[in-house]
Structure 1
Amino acid sequence: MILHKKLELYPGFYEWFIARRYTLLYDKLHYLWGFFIAPFVIVMVFFTPPFQVPDEFSHFAKTDQVSRGVFMPGMNKDSLVGNQTSAGVKKLIEIKGYNDIASNKEMKVDAITSNNVRPSGILWDHKTEFVKNSNTAPYFAAGYFVQAIGLLISKNTGLNVISSFYFSRYLVALVCIVFSFFAIKIYDYGKLMMFVILSFPMTLFEYASVSQDGILIASAALGIAIITNDDIREKSGKKYYLLRLSGLLLLSLAAFGKPPYVLIYVYFLFSVLFYRRSGNGLSVFVPGLVILGVFVLWCVAVAPYTRIPLITEANPAAQIVYIKNNPLVLVDVVLRNAINNVDALSMGMFGILGWLDTKLSSNSYVIMKLLVYVMTVAGVVVSVYKKRYYALMSILIALLSLFLISLALYISWTPVGQGSVEGVQGRYMIPVFLMITYLLREDWLKKHKNYSKAVVATVAFLMYAVGLSSLFSILQRYYI
């Protein structure tokens, strides 16, 4: 009390002191993420051996193709989907040790050196060869721009191919960290839930790779945060118009990279138009529709190249015909698979690292399940109670997005007529859960300061412990 009276003699300093005294730890979540969680990403960049993130072989080939201005997929004389790729990239991804580690969970990184191969000896040259990367060739190029810039910088500075690979990983990690930091900072709704999702070991693992998935997750998080930020939506002017448009562009990356996310994009596109306190939503909605039109044209353009021959029995064209003749399969197989595999998909979303062969400690899964399920259920119940129709629509869009993910993989990956869906992975659920955070107002964390500090500190500590555990899981999988 005496201190307060003395400080009142200095009004400016007193206001600063009071603001500091009552600042919620909740409002500083972006700093907690940046200082305690983000460093795990940088460690994973160099800690995880090359090509040990799912499909990183194909993602690296796509990165090289984009770096040379090749954006559309191609097809060779044997009707294999891919494109011309630098010969050095092909040599690197074909090194036996990398392939062996990815397919054998008992094999360690010393398998590479045991083959008398020096990856550092593979240099860039002007030769190109056809590389079959049918699972990534049809992807939209924008998801690989950061990685491609990394390769271009590496080539011009004289780095070899393996060093260029690591530099691209590092550049992706930096961009994802920056996007995630600002997403948490400016988010007005489920900030704590977003903190948890962006701290999942699987999220961090994707951030530390050349895969487009890390860019898509970080872009979706920042896009949602910008689009739903009340200050940005309510203010007019060129600056705020460009911010709102950039939010839609960032969110559209997720849809271009994984078409089933298009419903999430459409949902937030209409939220821009119908936001009740904004009279300038139409100015952003119109270019948003143009982006949606480009998305449709892109899907039509790459449809002939959408072939996934990794499972020889899969035949997308024949599967579509089968679904037309047996429409009930959408319920009996596709929907049932999505419902029955919720627990397994959740585990994958939290983090089954490596080539889906490296599980975390059991305590890590318990912690993340408890946090996510409790926060989601409690937040959704409150949201449905307060804004029934709005909340039910959001839940419906989320469920439809999960259904479309299952349907897409049933068509592209699953043998015709099979009674289950192949290829569904938990990481595909992350953008859907980012959307759900918009339902979680978390007002209870803003009203009770001391209680809020305890909750936020506990959640941050638990996610830090989970991140640390994930590093030990990687160490044990590849080195010990």
Structure 2
Amino acid sequence: MKHAKGAYKIEEYQDDLEYVDDHMVEKETRSGLRLLKLLINVLIIFIIIYLYNRYISSVDQLPQSVGNIIYFIFIISSIYLITATNYLLQSEKYKLEKLFLIVMVPVSISYSLIMIPGMVPDEATHMRLTYSLASQIMGVEQDKITLRGEEKYIYDRLPTAPNMDSYDYSYSHFFSGEDNGEYVTIDADSANWKQIFGYFPAVIGVIFSRIMHFGATPTIYIARLCNLFFYLWLTYFAIKKIPIGKQLMFMIAILPMCSQQMMSLSYDAVLNASTFFCLAFGLFFVYNSEDVKFDEYIKYLFSAILILSIKSSIYSFILLIPLLSKFKNLDNNIKIERKQKVILLLSISIFILVLNFVSFGSNVAKETAETAATTKNIISWSGTEGYTIGWLITHPIQGIALFMKTINIKGEWYYYSCLGQDLSWFTVKLPLEIFKIWGLLLLVCALKKEDNQLDKRMRVLFIMINLIIFFLVLLSMCIYWTPLTFDYIEGVQGRYFIPIVFTILIVINNNKINIKENMYRYINVFACLLTVITIMNLIGVCFTNSIAIG
């Protein structure tokens, strides 16, 4: 009996020791984590000081308006970096969609201030169409594009490269009131009202600014801001809802190229946001079909209309994802799966028929279609004969060689410019080393360990969608922009592939090679730091001509 009591006491003592050991280990672990968080914050502060000395300390030599904006960009970037870092380190379960807002609001403002109106590719065209649509709605335009006098003044002087005079004018008129509100016409035909789908956020901004009698410069920025709100709104819910590849979607959405395009007058902001949204909700239908609500179908179909009405509907193949994938959580209830797919298929088909009936496609789409039916195609920018569908059909070997040589010559540039190495009209070139890191981050995010997995059917579907869209992008510019004398396709830009970056990379996600969840807290801290480093390099290239970080 005494022996039993002694054994019990020994066992109880051992349990107490184990409890104390576990408690001490837990305490030491927490202390270690607190120390790590402190070290990371100290490191961030030292990096901010280094960036200031490297890029900001010499801005006093610039015009005062330019220097003030650079200081403003540095301050909001520093505050954002510290805020995002502590949100990631302090939150037990941080939300990527919330982190996306913390990152993109200051980053987008910074990009928009550096890439002033005109510096974003094709922004003059987008400005012309946006303002034309706004003028038509306001009833001040007939057959020719109509602008306010001061809007025409800015339109005629839009820069395509960093220019100190343009920066000074833009910043010094940032809060200006209406100076010349008299409407004048320019020698260009009015925009087709059916193009409203790609421009409606910016059009709302222009109309609001004109009603409030804001000056021409704040009008452009308010229109840009409306595009930004739309991008943030759709992309926020895309990141929140997507059931697989959430980390990858977040990283794509904060790429430098997306940051440039989302707060500009370009319809890329609408297109990219709609594509992300349809990708996310399409996959949500596949993996969480029992949880789908009616209003989510409506939101999905709204975004589908935008995809169908922009860029000749090239990216509409993304809408096939929920139609051709096998739904995952219906317990083999084929009737429910078929019902949901029929609803989606009929809805999308009706929209396609309606859009085709009223010709909602862009002028580029119409010209490309007309070119396909003709024997001669004159390229607008060169005035020489270009490729046609007929030529490609009758010269299949040369056609294949044309596409292969294009990939060989331009493939690497497509990749880096898609990430954002060449910004503006390719006049702002950032260090290659930065975008090697951005590419590595995308790869790391694609390998994140996921609760849901892609099956072989979905991997094949993604690969086919990628190949079709890639081919159609090249084909459209082959016909619309490439002279017959060129032995490679001209006019394709890396940003055209942003809508399929997700479907390209997610196919490498697997169970054998993956990275666990706890690592991504620190990977995201690094990603936030990289956005600030990229912005400082932009300042260096555009304003101070500093040697970029490499």
Using the size of structure 2 for normalisation, the TM-score is: 0.69
Equivalent AA in structure 1 for residue 187 of structure 2: F
Q: Do the aligned partners of 2:245 and 2:506 also contact (CA within 8 Å) in 1?
A: yes
1:329/1:86 Cα in 2 relative to 1: closer, same or farther (>3 Å)?
Answer: farther
Equivalent AA in structure 2 for residue 425 of structure 1: Q
Q: How many Å apart are 1:336 and its aligned residue?
A: 3.7
- Map 1:8-407 to 2 at 5 A: 25=93, 28-69=95-136, 84-88=145-149, 89-95=151-157, 98-99=158-159, 102=160, 105=161, 107-110=162-165, 123-131=180-188, 140-230=195-285, 234-235=289-290, 240-259=293-312, 261-268=314-321, 270-271=323-324, 277=330, 278-279=336-337, 280-281=339-340, 282-297=342-357, 298=359, 302=363, 303-305=365-367, 311-313=381-383, 319-338=388-407, 340-351=409-420, 352-373=422-443, 376=446, 387-407=455-475
Q: How many Å apart are 1:235 and its aligned residue?
A: 3.6
Q: 1:86 is paired with a residue of what secondary structure? A: strand
CA distance in 2: counterparts of 1:320 and 1:139, whole angstroms: 26
Q: How many Å apart are 1:87 and its aligned residue?
A: 4.8
Q: 2:265 is paired with a residue of what secondary structure? A: coil
Number of equivalenced pairs: 434
Q: How many Å apart are 1:260 and its aligned residue?
A: 5.6
1:86/1:305 Cα in 2 relative to 1: closer, same or farther (>3 Å)?
Answer: farther
1:419/1:464 Cα in 2 relative to 1: closer, same or farther (>3 Å)?
Answer: same
Q: How many Å apart are 1:49 and its aligned residue?
A: 1.5
Flag the structure with more relative contact order, 1 or 2, with Cα contacts below 8 A and sequence separation at least 6.
Answer: 1
Q: Do the aligned partners of 1:255 and 1:262 also contact (CA within 8 Å) in 2?
A: yes
Equivalent AA in structure 1 for residue 311 of structure 2: K
Q: 1:145 is paired with a residue of what secondary structure? A: helix
Q: How many Å apart are 1:356 and its aligned residue?
A: 1.6
1:232/1:248 Cα in 2 relative to 1: closer, same or farther (>3 Å)?
Answer: farther
Q: How many Å apart are 1:312 and its aligned residue?
A: 2.2
Worse-superposed segment, 292-301 or 61-70 = 292-301
Equivalent AA in structure 2 for residue 94 of structure 1: D
CA distance in 2: counterparts of 1:314 and 1:241, whole angstroms: 52
Q: 2:182 is paired with a residue of what secondary structure? A: coil
Partner of 2:54: none
Q: How many Å apart are 1:69 and its aligned residue?
A: 3.9
Q: How many Å apart are 1:423 and its aligned residue?
A: 0.9
Q: Do the aligned partners of 1:264 and 1:432 also contact (CA within 8 Å) in 2?
A: no
Q: Do the aligned partners of 2:477 and 2:489 also contact (CA within 8 Å) in 1?
A: yes
CA distance in 2: counterparts of 1:249 and 1:431, whole angstroms: 17
Q: 1:130 is paired with a residue of what secondary structure? A: strand
CA distance in 2: counterparts of 1:24 and 1:328, whole angstroms: 58
Q: How many Å apart are 1:172 and its aligned residue?
A: 1.3
1:301/1:367 Cα in 2 relative to 1: closer, same or farther (>3 Å)?
Answer: closer
Q: How many Å apart are 1:406 and its aligned residue?
A: 0.7
Q: Do the aligned partners of 2:287 and 2:329 also contact (CA within 8 Å) in 1?
A: no
Percent identical among aligned pairs is 19
**1:476 counterpart = 2:540:** yes
Could you say which structure has the larger radius of gyration?
2
Q: Do the aligned partners of 2:278 and 2:318 also contact (CA within 8 Å) in 1?
A: no
CA distance in 2: counterparts of 1:64 and 1:40, whole angstroms: 26
Equivalent AA in structure 2 for residue 452 of structure 1: E
Q: Do the aligned partners of 1:353 and 1:359 also contact (CA within 8 Å) in 2?
A: yes
Equivalent AA in structure 1 for residue 186 of structure 2: E
**1:418 counterpart = 2:473:** no
CA distance in 2: counterparts of 1:216 and 1:114, whole angstroms: 30
Q: How many Å apart are 1:328 and its aligned residue?
A: 3.0
Partner of 1:452: 517
Q: How many Å apart are 1:304 and its aligned residue?
A: 4.8
1:138/1:242 Cα in 2 relative to 1: closer, same or farther (>3 Å)?
Answer: same
CA distance in 2: counterparts of 1:438 and 1:255, whole angstroms: 23
Q: Do the aligned partners of 2:244 and 2:452 also contact (CA within 8 Å) in 1?
A: no
Worse-superposed segment, 402-411 or 356-365 = 356-365
Tell me how large the CA RMSD over aligned residues is.
4.0
Q: Do the aligned partners of 2:285 and 2:322 also contact (CA within 8 Å) in 1?
A: no
Q: Do the aligned partners of 1:245 and 1:284 also contact (CA within 8 Å) in 2?
A: no
Partner of 2:87: none
CA distance in 1: counterparts of 2:322 and 2:224, whole angstroms: 31
CA distance in 2: counterparts of 1:339 and 1:387, whole angstroms: 31
Q: How many Å apart are 1:111 and its aligned residue?
A: 5.0
Q: How many Å apart are 1:440 and its aligned residue?
A: 6.4
Alpha-carbon deviations, 1:94-144, whole Å to 9, x = none?
A: 12xx33xx1xx5x523257699x97957533333333379xx979832010
Q: Do the aligned partners of 2:206 and 2:223 also contact (CA within 8 Å) in 1?
A: yes
Equivalent AA in structure 1 for residue 147 of structure 2: S
